[in-house]
Amino acid sequence: MTAPLFSNRVIPTLVKIGFAAIFSLIMLPLPVTASAQHLAAIANSLTMFTLAVAQEVLLGVLMGFVANLVFIAVEIAASMMGLQAGFKAGEIFNPFTNSSSSALDQFYTLVAIALFLAVNGHHMLITAMVRTFELTPPGTFALEQISLDRLLAIFNQSFGTGVLLALPVVGTLLLTDVGLGLVARVVPQIQVFFVGLPLKVGLGFLTLALTMSITLPVIRDLFSNISRNILWISVP
């Protein structure tokens, strides 16, 4: 429901249910390190069983949120670049994020998904989920284990990475705006608005193409840290 790629609306609901059932059958033989008394208390009490289920749901939502922060960082970068280049004037519905976004946002979303699959990010996500069952057995997770400092650190890292990804394009277009402003003051006869829009779009595409070899490894490194971030945030 919350994991990146798996929670996409493009994937049918029956496929998601099938994935959940398959994962459950695969992980069922895992050894449980919780005490026998604790497991017996959960099995014999409807209240404790309901609470244990709620705790596992909360842990799953938390894992999906942490993993999605990487995609949010990419969306922040694409939104900043699209706003500066003028792509926000023609927004369309993006089925991957269930919101309106520009063509540049959708391009970066597809690139992020391709990189996520290329670096086996879905395998890292499943591996981290299995490790949480080993380190935090069912029924032992508590809300007090969630550290606000850890959440803020991961969020700050994602937001900073998003700004870093957008910095080359945003910086180039900012200098372009300054140059167009100087031209408008020196030569008032030039219609800067009509000249500036295609110029900014062209420079944005050029800068994006030149810096793609730098930004893609940064996104790839973010995906490589998904498993570590999930375990860091969900395990005491």
More confident residue, 95 or 183: 183
Its pTM stands at 0.71
Highest mean pLDDT among 61-70, 192-201, 223-232: 61-70
pLDDT tens-place string over residues 138-160: 766 665 556 667 777 777 777 88
Beta-carbon contacts of 9 under 8 Å, excluding residues fewer than 6 positions away, are 95, 98
Give the domain ranges of the chain. 13-234
Beta-carbon contacts of 116 under 8 Å, excluding residues fewer than 6 positions away, are 4, 5, 70, 122, 223
Beta-carbon contacts of 118 under 8 Å, excluding residues fewer than 6 positions away, are 220
pLDDT tens-place string over residues 91-118: 665 555 566 667 777 788 888 888 888 8
Alpha carbon distances (Å) from 232 to 58, 137, 223: 16, 16, 15
